[in-house]
Amino acid sequence: MTRDIIEQYEQEFSSLFQAKRAFAFWKGRVALYAILKAMGIGQRDEVILPGYTCVMNVNPIKYLGAKPVYVDIEPNTFNINPKLLPEKITNRTKVIIAQHTYGYVCDMDAVMEIAGQKQVPVIEDCCLSLGSKYKGQLAGTFGEAAYFSFQWNKPYTTGLGGMAVINAEELAERIETLVEKQACEPGFQEVMMLWVQLCIYRAFVYPRTTALAQSLFRYLTKKGVIVGSSAASEFKPTMADDFLKKTSNMQAGSGLKALKKLDNIIAHRKVMADLYDRLLSEKGWPTRQYDRSVMQPVMVRYPVRIKQKDKALSKAAKAGKELGSWFECPLHPIETPLQTYDYTVGMCPEAEKAAREVVNLPLHSRVSEKTAWQIVDFITAFTASN
Ligand SMILES: *Cc1c(COP(=O)(O)O)cnc(C)c1O
């Protein structure tokens, strides 16, 4: 008997975390939606998350009629500042989303202790932290549930893709029912388009061509030729009918292949991040600030603060240097109507400062030692001359 490829992918992913169950979805945000919905989140409930995130992470909360409540970040790790957490918890708080930003794990001792005292469940946003550990324990194994993304920029990519990893038996059963009753199947055409994109990506996207490829992808998405990671309808808090979508065999197959290479993917990211530490410190720049005896991060990108971020980004794009900008504002991207998402400017000062200052350096499998030192040369020279 042949085992369903999606089921196999879910089981292999789940066993990485020794979780109860894993459920694969079309995107990471869909996994979050499924978890929140299965937890019964609805009108008037409050969901806590950092004010340094992507709007696509806030949509599922809004779709359910709940209110996002933002907590400011801690400036070194860009993660929720646990000191500010207790004052945000009310009797309406139903969930805390602990987002492990760039690969740095949240201060989980503090987060879990506060959540435990207040009896609020924790969902871990592991979209940027596959393989990261806190006190030797994998991110994704602390809360009731965790979710992952396999979009283009994530630890590994299946084009688009997401996974919900569930550590609580009852919640797993509720998600299973939700998927059976309400989730739709991806369409043949969108899967084909995604597959074509994945082939193009594998063949052509290298650090030098990334900026070009991104603008081409954005253009083709607007023209409806390819499936972008975010449709125009996703920039407002109204859910599309086919939002709750399962994954495809194509994505699951691609994910299973990536899992076989996961140790190498993680090792490469660690080596390159250490290399950036060394190269930057040789230039007298600050490097990553985190407690090495507590956290073993697997970074998705390497964040650096610079002055004149916008100018640096446009110069880098012209020079063919892959400099990224997450997050452009507290609810990335810069076009997000903050008020619609219950964010008021000034709510999270550290997050707003980080959004003005932080660029990030690539760590993916195409980044070689040479690209790393070229990028470090670029940003240090840029800063010296500006
Ligand atoms: C990418 C990302 C998501 C959403 O993942 P998609 O697969 O694009 O839906 C959620 N949270 C964080 C922190 C992310 O970086």
Specify the higher pLDDT residue, 79 or 231. Answer: 79
The backbone region for 18, taken as left when phi is positive above 0, alpha when psi lies in -120 to 50, beta otherwise, is left
Q: How far apart are CA 2 and CA 24, in angstroms?
A: 19
Q: Is the CB of 297 within 6 Å of ligand 1?
A: no
How far is the CA of 208 from the CAs of 273, 275, 363, in angstroms?
A: 19, 19, 14
Q: What is the pLDDT of residue 201?
A: 80
Question: DSSP readout, 64-124?
Answer: TT-EEEEEPBPTTT-SB-GGGSGGG--TTEEEEEEE-GGGPPP-HHHHHHHHHHHT--EEE
Residue indicated by tokens 């994998």: 138
Best of 154, 157, 299, 300 to mutate for ligand 1, by most ligand atoms within 8 A of CB? 154
Q: Which two tokens stand for residue 68?
A: 């996002």
Distance 28 CA to ligand 1 centre (A): 5
> What angle, 0 to 180 degrees and rounded to 10, lies between the N-to-C axes of helices 249-260 and 188-204?
30
Query: Mean of the per-residue pLDDT values for the chain?
Result: 94
Q: How far apart are CA 282 and CA 192, in angstroms?
A: 47
CB within 8 Å of 34: residues ≥ 6 apart: 23, 25, 164, 175, 178, 179, 183, 244
CB within 8 Å of 342: residues ≥ 6 apart: 67, 68, 69, 70
Distance 147 CA to ligand 1 centre (A): 9
Q: What is the pLDDT of residue 61?
A: 98
pLDDT value at 224 more than 70:
no
- Helices and strands (DSSP H and E) totals, the chain: 12, 14
CB-based burial, 321-358: b 16+ in 10 Å, e otherwise: bbbbbbbbbbbbeeebeeeebbbeeebbebbbebbeeb
Q: Which atom of ligand 1 is nearest to the CA of 57?
A: 10
Distance 282 CA to ligand 1 centre (A): 33
Q: How far apart are CA 130 and CA 282, in angstroms?
A: 29
- The band of 1, judged by pLDDT with boundaries at 50, 70 and 90, is very low
Average pLDDT over residues 233-240: 89
- The band of 20, judged by pLDDT with boundaries at 50, 70 and 90, is very high
The backbone region for 294, taken as left when phi is positive above 0, alpha when psi lies in -120 to 50, beta otherwise, is alpha
* Residue range 148-164, pLDDT digits in tens: 999 988 999 999 999 99
Best of 27, 54, 160, 360 to mutate for ligand 1, by most ligand atoms within 8 A of CB? 54
* Residue range 285-294, pLDDT digits in tens: 999 999 999 9
The backbone region for 284, taken as left when phi is positive above 0, alpha when psi lies in -120 to 50, beta otherwise, is left
Distance 151 CA to ligand 1 centre (A): 8
Average pLDDT over residues 11-24: 98
- The band of 209, judged by pLDDT with boundaries at 50, 70 and 90, is low
Phi, then psi, of 326 in degrees rounded to 5: -115, 130
The pTM (predicted TM-score) of the whole model is: 0.95
Ligand 1, atom 13, lies closest to the CA of 127
Q: Is the CB of 140 within 6 Å of ligand 1?
A: no
